[in-house]
Structure 1
Amino acid sequence: MTVCRGCCCGTVKKHPDYDHAEQLRRLEEVAARSGGRVTVRTADCLDACENSNLIVVKPRGQKPVWLGFVLHDEVMADLERWLAQGGPLPEVLELNRVSPPAQA
């Protein structure tokens, strides 16, 4: 998965009430328990700033799933469960699904 941490996603400037470091720590913990099935990387900007806090998950053999507005513990818990269990995107996370930016 790729976690946007650049111009506005993951910054206290845009989202001062969210613990961005804790979010990244939680995702890295899920990755560590996955036995290599889940990896975490950060990107400076994914060009979808209107949807920040943005996380892109690329399940094996599937198109990337772009999740926006990942700014609440409940959303993180749903994301963590999905990453740990695998399978199709849970309906509850469909609420956070956003479209990737248009290609230039």
Structure 2
Amino acid sequence: MPVEVSRGGSVPCRVVVCRDCCCGSSKVTGVDHREQTARLAKDAPVRITGCLDVCDQANVIVVQPSSEGRAAGGRPVWFGLVNDPAATEDVAAWVRAGGPGVAALTDILDLYAFTLPRRARSAPLRDAG
């Protein structure tokens, strides 16, 4: 998939959505996983990945900073328990506002954000296959 570049030449935020053993499965009930992914894709490129090894936080979404955000010191932000449309919309709105390094986290999103456990930090992001 080609990288989308905005008119200003910067790379936009990217969203990584875990869809493996727990995230995106029937283990997380009451969530339309396809709709969630489609909703996020309206505002940013979305990459589906295999297990991110934080199953206790299912559904996990990672927002990677845009080139502007990275230049401003932004780093990927991990969100867990994103299990309803309102939470998905909050993530999408933050991405539209600029995401990491550009827009401050809202109080609501701060409740979903978590620090990646040390055990998972060494594992690379894997594509779902």
TM-score after normalising by structure 2: 0.69
Shift of the alpha carbon at 1:93?
A: 0.1
Taking the TM superposition and a 5 Å limit, the aligned residue runs for 1:1-104 are: 1-12=15-26, 14-31=27-44, 39-59=45-65, 60-61=69-70, 62-86=74-98, 87-102=103-118, 103-104=121-122
Segments of 5+ residues of structure 2 without an aligned counterpart are: 1-14, 123-129
The size of the alignment, in residue pairs, is 96
SS at match of 1:23: helix
| Separation in 1, partners of 2:96, 2:114 | 21
Quick one: percent identity of the two aligned structures?
40
| Separation in 2, partners of 1:24, 1:88 | 23
Segments of 5+ residues of structure 1 without an aligned counterpart are: 32-38
